[in-house]
Amino acid sequence: MKAYLSDRMGAALLMAPLLLFLGAAYAWPFFGVVNWSFTLPEPGLGQYGTLLSDPLVQSVFVRTLRIAAIVTIVSVAAAYAITLVWVRGTPAQRVIAEFCILVPFWISVLTRAFGWVALLSNRGLFNTWLQAIGFISEPLTLVRNEFGVIVGMTHFLIPFAVFPLASSMRSLDDRVLLAARGLGSSRMRTFWSVFVPMTRSGIIGSALIVFVFSLGFFVTPAILGGGRSVMVAELIYLRIFQSPDWGLGAAISVVLVLFVGTLMALLFRYVRPKQLI
């Protein structure tokens, strides 16, 4: 018993500097933002009342949730296919999949966003090519709207969705799949009825990572949205640095943090943490 308490005490002492650092770096500034939301421009709950009554703020929150949901679905579906090749493909397929997963991490988000602008703009490569082959007569509007934002965010977030899925797939017992095949199940039925349900924890983990990242995305929506598809992070920036309306910007930040915290709490309430490793 003494040895157990001693080990726990030692672990607590080792964790103390990290907890103090996190408190100083994150918690203390966050409490300052909370204070702004209640005191600027005047004390009270006026800024939170604005969140509930201002159509502009409400439309931005709805747009953010809609884009985040679409990006999450598309990213996790694409990541699932890539991860399947990476984990269960031939050696050559695995090398190609690993290359596609890791190379995006070497390119900054800003560079990728401007790359998509070069591809999708009215005079970009994609529209120019479609007009050259006679498929379209007028350029398609693919940027400065929600479509461009979704494309850029999905491209950035797919690699982040791969790793929880890869962990889940690698921990799967192949004997279960062999047993299903031995009982007469087809490859497709084995995949949908056995393989996919057994990787559910990876799907949930990937979806959470992508959705949380999507809620706070700033650079890609600002560039590919062109100010026409403003999301929450950009709205906070506009209220803090351009309006300026620090109180409302702080209130939006607090609501966003609480929403993400609620998502994390629900995840660890209904999904065992070890399932996400």
Rounded to the nearest 10°, the torsion over CA 11, 9, 272, 256 is -80
User: What pLDDT shows up at residue 2?
Assistant: 56
CA distance 158 to 257: 23
**Alpha carbon separation from 217 to 6, 213, 222, 223 (Å, rounded):** 44, 6, 9, 11
pLDDT tops 70 at residue 272:
no
pTM comes to 0.87
Quote the DSSP letter at residue 227.
Answer: T
User: What pLDDT shows up at residue 18?
Assistant: 80
User: What pLDDT shows up at residue 27?
Assistant: 82
Mean pLDDT of 114-123: 91
Mean pLDDT of 225-232: 88
Mean pLDDT of 33-61: 89
User: What pLDDT shows up at residue 7?
Assistant: 62
User: What pLDDT shows up at residue 270?
Assistant: 57
Asked if 245 and 239 count as a contact pair (C-beta separation under 8 A), the reply is yes
Mean pLDDT of 25-39: 87
User: What pLDDT shows up at residue 136?
Assistant: 84
Mean pLDDT of 37-58: 88
CA distance 40 to 16: 34
CA distance 33 to 254: 7
User: What pLDDT shows up at residue 159?
Assistant: 93
CA distance 49 to 88: 52
CA distance 251 to 266: 23
Between 187 and 67, the more confident residue is 67
Mean pLDDT of 190-211: 90
User: What pLDDT shows up at residue 58?
Assistant: 92
Mean pLDDT of 178-205: 88
pLDDT tops 70 at residue 1:
no
- Given pLDDT bands bounded at 50, 70 and 90, which one contains residue 24? confident
User: What pLDDT shows up at residue 274?
Assistant: 47
User: Which tens digit of pLDDT belongs to each residue from 137-151?
Assistant: 888 889 999 999 999
What does the mean pLDDT of the chain come to? 87
User: What pLDDT shows up at residue 160?
Assistant: 93
Q: Tokens 């308490």 label which residue?
A: 5
Nearest to 81 by CA among 70, 97, 69: 97
User: Which tens digit of pLDDT belongs to each residue from 161-172?
Assistant: 999 999 999 988
pLDDT tops 60 at residue 4:
no
Mean pLDDT of 36-40: 88
Between 245 and 153, the more confident residue is 153
